[in-house]
Amino acid sequence: MTKQLRDTIFTCSACDAQYPKWEGRCRGCGKWGTVSELRITNYELRKDATEKAPPAELIEFKAIDATRFPRIETGIGEFDRVLGGGIVPGSLVLIGGAPGIGKSTLLLQALAKIKPPILYFSGEESASQIKSRAERLSLGSLPIQFAQETNIERVAATIDKVAPTLTIIDSIQTLKSEEVGSPAGSINQISVSCAKLMEAAKRGNHSIFIIGHITKSGVVAGPKTLEHLVDTVLYLEGDKNHFYRLLRSVKNRFGTTDEVGVFEMTDTGMDEVKNPSLAFMADFDASAPGTVTTVVMEGTRPFLVEIQALTSKTFFGYPKRA
Ligand SMILES: [Zn+2]
């Protein structure tokens, strides 16, 4: 006996609220234009599936080997620390950020010490574009196997066949499944592709990094949905016109989420900033009016930050703060 469920719902890409019909403004988070259609295919209530299901296999709790997850270290201290001590084999990691902020640069640098085979799937840039970027970073001879492929079924089949230590997907917005009718970049395509990558990662214990672009309004297209589907979510933040970049983890199944990595964008790639306090304190002069130095904690690390205020002489008899 089967029962057809409603096959279309509308979800907000910013807060994941769901509606039976389209709304111009999300009533959950108040944002405009974030609600879009989510088509659910093949989701039927099948009673016979419940009746036929065999019981799950059980293992004795005391016999489980709880050795700590072995980690693959990239050698970039700031990167490994935000991940919780390196890459966990079989983990699916989303790295989000604005286009051009340096996500693929940072990932290319992180590949330098990873044992091959390494797979790189690009749906946006050609092999020669990525090669020339790697050459700028003096990483032109990295043992990467490259494919310009956007079909998720073929990507997953390649991962199964090659059994790579690490796979980079650049970017999730370009992937497309044959099983879903909607265009690449839609919420349906993104969640189906992500689910298939998760299966491939767990099936063969291969680690996969997914690059996800954030739009101007601050959402990765189809983003909150993605955050639920992966093990770890990192965001690379910063201003395109400034040199500093912050790598932050907002979800981590294998570590804490309050660590922050600091990088400086240079001509030769992302340099770790090991003493960010120096960077955040402009030429310190204790006697200058309007400046104060304070300490803030980010994760396990204290930062010295200088706060500056504009001060000027007052012509009144009493001081005034504005
Ligand atoms: Zn919303």
Domains of the chain: 2-51 (no CATH), 77-274 (3.40.50.300), 277-322 (no CATH)
Q: Measure 264 CA to ligand 1 centroid, in angstroms.
A: 34
pLDDT score at 276: 78
Q: What is the pLDDT of residues 285-306, one digit of tens each?
A: 667 777 788 888 776 677 777 7
Give the DSSP H/E element, type plus range, for residue 313: none
Q: Measure 280 CA to ligand 1 centroid, in angstroms.
A: 35
pLDDT score at 107: 94
**Residue 122 confidence (pLDDT) above 90:** yes
pLDDT score at 286: 65
Give the DSSP H/E element, type plus range, for residue 148: none
* Cα→Cα distances 140→49, 77, 256, 272, Å: 52, 22, 34, 21
- Please give the Cα distance from 295 to 62 (Å, whole number): 45
β-pair partners for 75: none
Q: Measure 7 CA to ligand 1 centroid, in angstroms.
A: 21
From the number of C-beta atoms within 10 Å of its C-beta (0-12, 13-18, 19+), residue 162 rates as middle
From the number of C-beta atoms within 10 Å of its C-beta (0-12, 13-18, 19+), residue 92 rates as buried
- Please give the Cα distance from 26 to 17 (Å, whole number): 8
Q: Measure 31 CA to ligand 1 centroid, in angstroms.
A: 6
Q: Measure 150 CA to ligand 1 centroid, in angstroms.
A: 29
pLDDT score at 121: 95
If DSSP states are collapsed to H, E and C, what string results for 180-212? CCCCCCCHHHHHHHHHHHHHHHHHHCCEEEEEE
Residue 36's pLDDT band (cuts 50, 70, 90): confident
Indicate the average pLDDT of the chain: 84
Q: Measure 122 CA to ligand 1 centroid, in angstroms.
A: 31
Region 16-27: mean pLDDT is 90
Q: Measure 299 CA to ligand 1 centroid, in angstroms.
A: 29
Q: What is the pLDDT of residues 81-112, one digit of tens each?
A: 999 899 999 999 999 888 888 999 999 999 98
Q: Measure 27 CA to ligand 1 centroid, in angstroms.
A: 6
Residue 252's pLDDT band (cuts 50, 70, 90): very high
From the number of C-beta atoms within 10 Å of its C-beta (0-12, 13-18, 19+), residue 49 rates as exposed
**Residue 219 confidence (pLDDT) above 90:** no
Region 195-200: mean pLDDT is 94
Residue 170's pLDDT band (cuts 50, 70, 90): very high
* Residue 174: DSSP 8-state: G
Residues 225 and 191 sit within 8 Å (Cβ to Cβ):
yes
Q: Measure 107 CA to ligand 1 centroid, in angstroms.
A: 31
Nearest of 257, 203, 233 to residue 92 by alpha carbon: 233
Q: Measure 20 CA to ligand 1 centroid, in angstroms.
A: 14
The fraction of the chain above a pLDDT of 90, given in percent, is: 35
Query: What residues have their beta carbon closer than 5 A to ion ligand 1?
Result: 12, 14-15, 17, 26, 28-29
Q: Which of 56-60, 182-186, 216-220 has the highest mean pLDDT?
A: 56-60
Residues 121 and 154 sit within 8 Å (Cβ to Cβ):
no
pLDDT score at 310: 84
pLDDT score at 108: 93
pLDDT score at 213: 84
- Please give the Cα distance from 18 to 302 (Å, whole number): 40
Region 228-238: mean pLDDT is 90
Q: Measure 97 CA to ligand 1 centroid, in angstroms.
A: 20
Q: Measure 187 CA to ligand 1 centroid, in angstroms.
A: 14
Nearest of 107, 299, 99 to residue 207 by alpha carbon: 107
Nearest of 13, 20, 15 to residue 35 by alpha carbon: 13
Q: Measure 33 CA to ligand 1 centroid, in angstroms.
A: 9
Q: Measure 28 CA to ligand 1 centroid, in angstroms.
A: 5
More confident residue, 1 or 253: 253
pLDDT score at 232: 94
Nearest of 231, 287, 286, 296 to residue 262 by alpha carbon: 296
**Residue 12 confidence (pLDDT) above 90:** no
Residue 1's pLDDT band (cuts 50, 70, 90): very low
Q: Measure 167 CA to ligand 1 centroid, in angstroms.
A: 32
Q: Measure 285 CA to ligand 1 centroid, in angstroms.
A: 46
Q: Measure 212 CA to ligand 1 centroid, in angstroms.
A: 20
Q: Measure 11 CA to ligand 1 centroid, in angstroms.
A: 8
pLDDT score at 2: 47
φ and ψ at residue 285, rounded to 5 degrees = -135, 105
pLDDT score at 263: 92
More confident residue, 169 or 40: 169
